[in-house]
Structure 1
C-alpha cells in the first residue's frame, strides 16, 4: 500500500495505520488534512473526524462501534473510548447482483485426487479410528501405538526412536559399545519413505470427551459429526470402538451415515467392548480390521479431477488488524474464483459474522436460506445473552492487542473470506455441502471447533488466515495457514504456508494474491506439497456440543 495509512471504505470515519504513526504527523484523506494528536500503533485506528459520545463508528463501510467518550480527529480508537455496536438486520432480502471474476488462468486446471464411488474427490486418503465414547480413548491409544510408527506414519515428534534395534543387539550378545553405536533415530521423512501403504496418507485417531453424559442431543450431534468424517471424501474407511452402554450407540452412527449417504460403500468396522471376549481380543480384531482396511485403501491412486470438486473451508484465527485488509479479502477472491469454477467454498464462525448479517442475507439465493440464516444468528445471539455473555465478548486479548477492538470490527474483516458471490445454501452444524457455490455453516468462532465442523460438513481442504500465528490443523482436511503480514510469515514460517503480507507492502493486489492462494490450494489438493499443519501432525479435533462457544 502506497501510504502508511488507509481508509478501507469511503464511508469509514476511522483510518487504519499500516505502520506506526508518530504524533504530529500530517495526513490527508479524501482531500481533508489533519494532524495526529497522539501516536498510533501499527494495525490500530485513528479518528478521521471529531466523534461525540454516542456517535456511530464505521469501518469497512459498516457500523462497528459507538464512541463512549469524545474522540478528537487524529486520536486513537481504543477499548477505552469505543464500545461494540452493530447494524440491525431482518430476513427480507434486497436486490443483489454478482459479477464473477476472470477464471481464464484456471479454466483448464485440474487437481490429482482420490476418486470415491459416490462421485466425491478426496485431496487425501486416510483411515479413521473413532471412539463412540471417551471410555474407549485408551483403546484408541493402544491401536495408535500398535500401528502408526510400525507402518511408517506420523509420530508425536519429528522423529521416531527404534528401541527394537537395541533389543536385537542385546539379544545377539553385542557389546555395550556396539549397542551405543547402533543408529536408532528415524526422521518423519525417512518413516514416510518406508510406508507399507504409500497411497494411504495416514491413520487418524479422533479421540474426544463425548458420547456419554451430557444431553441425548449431544450424542446425536456427535454421531452426525462422526458420520460426516467417515463420509468425507478424504476418508477411505473407519474402525469404530464402542463400549456398549453409552448414549452414542452404534445404531445411531449407522443411521447418521445412512442419512448422509444411503449407499455408502466405505468399509466401517464396529467393535463393541462389552460384547467382546476380552480387551486383548478386541484390540486384536481392531488391528486386523484396520490393517486389511489400509491394504484395500492403498489400491486407490490419485487421478485428475476438475476444480469443481474442491470443497474449501474458509477459516480465520489469531486475527490481527491486517487480517481484514490482506489475508481475508485475498482468500475471498480465491473463494470467488472457485465459485466461478463450480467449486464450493464454506464460510463458518457465525459469532464472527455479527454486523454483516444483512449483507449475507441479501446475498442468499433463496428466501428460505435468508430466513434460516436470520434465525440461526438470532438463536445464537440470544443463547449467548442468556448465559450473561454476547457476541461483543468474542474478540480475544490477542485480537484487541493487534487492533481488533470490537466484534463487529473483527466480523466485518472476517466475512471478507467469503468473497462477494451469492450464498447458495445455509447449513446448520453437521449439515452437508451438496451443491456448488458459497455456503454458510453455523459453527462457533473457536478455531478448532470451527475447523472440526468444516471437515465434518464435507470440506476436503481448508485455508486458515491468521495475523498472530497458530499451529491448528485437522485430522482429515489439509489446513493451509495464510499470514496477514510478512513479519509473522518470516517469524513463524515453520507453521505458516502462504504470505498475504505482500498485499500490505504493495507487491500484490487482492486479486493477484487470491490467484496465488488458489494455485497453492491446487498443489496441496494434488499431494504435490503438504501443508505445514500436516507435516507437524496437527490433528486438532473438538466436537461442538452446541453450547455457547464464542
Structure 2
C-alpha cells in the first residue's frame, strides 16, 4: 500500500481526460468508478465488461474478478477487503467490502520534497486589511462572544440591533455578529475541555477579521470573564470590551450596555481600507462535507493543487477532521518534515481511537447515509479522498484544536469531522478563509472568515448553484484538468480575500455556525 497524494492527483488528472463512462484512477486498481449512472447488462467494450447490476454515478464496479479476502484497491490504496467473491462487472460497495484494519508503515518523511517557493516579488497579491500589528484580514466584523450559554440570548439581541440600515454610516464594517455557544458552566474545570473552550473564544477575539470584540458573561459561571481574559492574556481596551450581566443589571441593561459598547467601537473599526498584500498572509481552512464518490477524484485533488500553489506563494493550508484521515494517515506522515511532526499526528489518531471506542462513530468505519448514497463505502475510502485536500507539499506541523497556527505551509489541526466544529477550530487557529468541498451539497457558511463552497459534480452544482461557488465537476466532465481547476480555485481565493462575497455571504449564512468542540464531561 504505497500510493501517495502526488500519484493520486496525477492519476485523477489522467483518468478524467476522456469522456468514458468509467474512470480508472490507477493502473493498480481493481475497481472502476462510474462517471454516470449505468444500467444492468450495459456493455463497456473498452473495459471488456458487461455490468451485472445497476450502478449509480460515483459508485464502484469490479474491473476484474476479486476473490474473497483480496484487497479492494482505489488509487492503488486499500479501502477494504472483498467480503465474498466479486465477479467482473459487479457493483462494489458496503455490501461486499469488509473494513479490516492493518498496519500501515508511517515512513516518516519518505515523501518530503522541496517546495519551489516563489520570490516575494513574484508572489500573488490580494486586497487585504492590514491591522496595526501587521496581521492581515480578509473581512472586517465586530464580534460579540458569550463566555457561557446563559449570556447567549443577550449577545444575539445586541447583534440584532445592528441592522444594515444602522450600519450604513460604517461602510467598511462587514457586520456585527454574535458568536453564541452552549457551554461554559456545567463542565469540569480545570480540564482539557475547559482549556479548549477558552482557547477557542480567545482565537476569535484575536482574529484579524474582527475589528472589535465584546465578551459578555453571566457572572456565576465556571468560565468567568475575568479568568478568561487573564488566562488568555487578553487586555480590555477601545476595541475589546467586557460585560457581566449580574453586575450590569440584568438582561435588558446588558443589552443596552452592549449596544452602547458596539456603537463606540464602530467608528474605530470603520477606519480601515484595503491595500495590496502578499498571498503569504492567507491561511486557508480545508473542509469537506456531504462527500460523494467524486469528491476524492475532482474537488479534493483540485483543492489540493490550489493549496500547493498557495504554499509556493508563502501561504498556509490547514487540513483538519482527524477521523477523516483514519486509514490513510501514512499519506501525511510520509510528508512530515520530521519524525516528531509525524508522531504528533499518530498520537492524535491514537487519542481518537480511545475517544470513540465503543461508540458507533465513523472513525470506526461507518460513514453517513449521504456519503454511502454518494458512493463511499467506509471511512477508509472517505479518508482517501479527504486527505487529498492538503495537496502534496511537506507537512510542517500538527496543532491541537484552536491552537494558534504560527507556521507557513501545509499543516494539520486536530478536530472532529463535524463541519461546524472543525471550521470553528480552524478560524480560532487563524484561518482567514475556508474552502469547503461537497458532493451531496452542503449549505454552510461561516463568520468572520467566509466559506467558499466547491461542488464535486456538475449536476449538483447546477441544482444548487445559489449555494455553490465553484464547479469542480468540470474535472469529472473532462473539460478541465486537476491543475487547471486548481489554478481557478487559487484565483477565486484571491478575489474572495479581496472582498468579493461568497454565495454563503450573499445568503446571510454564518451567524449560527460557531460551535466549539464539546469533548468533556458535563456535570
Tell me, yes or no, whether TM beats 0.5. yes
Cα-to-partner distance string for 1:144-192 (whole Å, 9 max, x where unaligned) = 232234424xxxxxxxxxxxxxxxxxxxxxxxxxxxxxxxxxxxxxxxx
In the TM superposition, structure 1's runs of 4+ consecutive aligned residues that sit over 6 Å from their partners are 101-104, 262-266
What does the per-residue CA deviation read over 1:168-218, in whole Å, with 9 as the maximum and x for residues that have no partner?
xxxxxxxxxxxxxxxxxxxxxxxxxxx221111111100111111032233
Per the TM alignment, residue 424 of structure 1 is displaced from its structure 2 partner at its CA by 0.6
Are residues 502 and 87 of structure 1, via their aligned partners in 2, closer, same or farther at CA, if it must alter by over 3 Å? farther
Q: 1:125 aligns with which of 140, 143, 166?
A: 140
| Alignment partner, residue 230 of structure 1 | 205
Asked whether 1:12 is paired with 2:29, we answer yes
Alpha-carbon separation, structure 1, partners of 2:460 and 2:122: 33
**What corresponds to 1:200 in structure 2?**
173
Gapped runs of 5+ residues in structure 1?
A: 153-194
Counterpart of 2:130 (choices 106, 110, 115) is 115
For 2:204 and 2:441, how far apart are their aligned partners in 1? 26
Q: Is residue 504 of structure 2 the alignment partner of residue 533 of structure 1? A: yes
Decide which moves more: 513-522 or 270-279. 270-279
Residue pairs, 1:382-397, within 5 angstroms = 382-387=354-359, 389=361, 391-397=363-369
Partners of 2:240 and 2:110 in 1: CA distance: 47
Which residue of the partner structure matches residue 486 of structure 1? 458
Aligned pairs, number: 500
Shift of 1:416: 0.7
Going from structure 1 to structure 2, the CA distance change for 1:143 and 1:308 (only over 3 Å counts) comes to same
State the partner residue of 1:352. Answer: 324
1:71 matched to which residue of 2? 86
Contact 2:444 2:504 in 1 (8 A): yes
Does the CA-based 8 Å contact 1:381-1:390 persist in structure 2? no
Any idea what the Cα deviations from partners look like across 1:11-69, whole Å, max 9, x if unmatched? 2111111112333444467xx63332233221110112222222211112211111212
Match of 1:431 in 2: 403
Q: Check conservation: 2:99, 2:365, Cα contact below 8 A.
A: no
Larger radius of gyration: 1
1:59 aligns with 2:34: no
SS of residue in 1 equivalent to 2:228 = helix
Q: Which residue of 2 aligns with 1:546?
A: 519
| Structure 1: distance between partners of 2:106 and 2:241 | 45
SS at match of 2:215: strand
Q: Secondary structure at the match of 1:435?
A: coil
> For residues 266 and 87 of structure 1, do their structure 2 counterparts lie closer, same or farther at Cα, with a shift above 3 Å needed?
farther
Over the aligned positions, Cα root-mean-square deviation in angstroms equals 2.3
TM-score (normalizing by structure 1): 0.86
Report the counterpart of residue 36 of structure 1 in structure 2. Answer: 51
Q: Cα deviations across residues 364-389 of structure 1 (Å, max 9, x unaligned)?
A: 11222111101101110221114354
Partner residue of 1:147 out of 162, 168, 172 = 162
Structure 1 residue matching 2:280: 3-state secondary structure: helix
The answer to whether the 8 A contact 2:124-2:313 is kept is no
Q: Which residue of 1 aligns with 2:151?
A: 136
On the 8 A contact 1:483/1:498 being kept in 2, the answer is: yes
2:343 maps to which of 371, 385, 392: 371
TM-score between both structures, scaled by the size of structure 2 = 0.91
Q: 1:388 to 1:44 in 2, by over 3 A?
A: closer
Contact 1:86–1:408 (8 Å) recurs in 2: no
* In 2: Cα distance, 1:547 partner to 1:11 partner: 44
Measured against aligned partners, the alpha-carbon deviations of 1:206-264 in whole angstroms (never above 9, x if no partner) come to 01111110322333211110111111111112111111111111133223532xxx889
- Map of 1:429-468 to 2, 5 A cutoff? 429-468=401-440
SS at match of 2:48: strand
Contact 2:123-2:279 at 8 Å conserved across structures: no
**Aligned partners of 1:38 and 1:75 also within 8 Å:** yes
Distance 1:265 1:75, change over 3 A: farther
Check 1:135–1:302 CA distance in 2 against 1; reply closer, same or farther (3 A cut). same
When structure 1 is superposed on structure 2, of 49-58 and 233-242 the one drifting more is: 49-58
Give the structure 2 partner of residue 185 of structure 1: none
Greater mean deviation of Cα atoms: 89-98 or 49-58? 89-98
**Closer, same or farther in 2 for the Cα pair 1:24/1:271, shift >3 Å?**
same
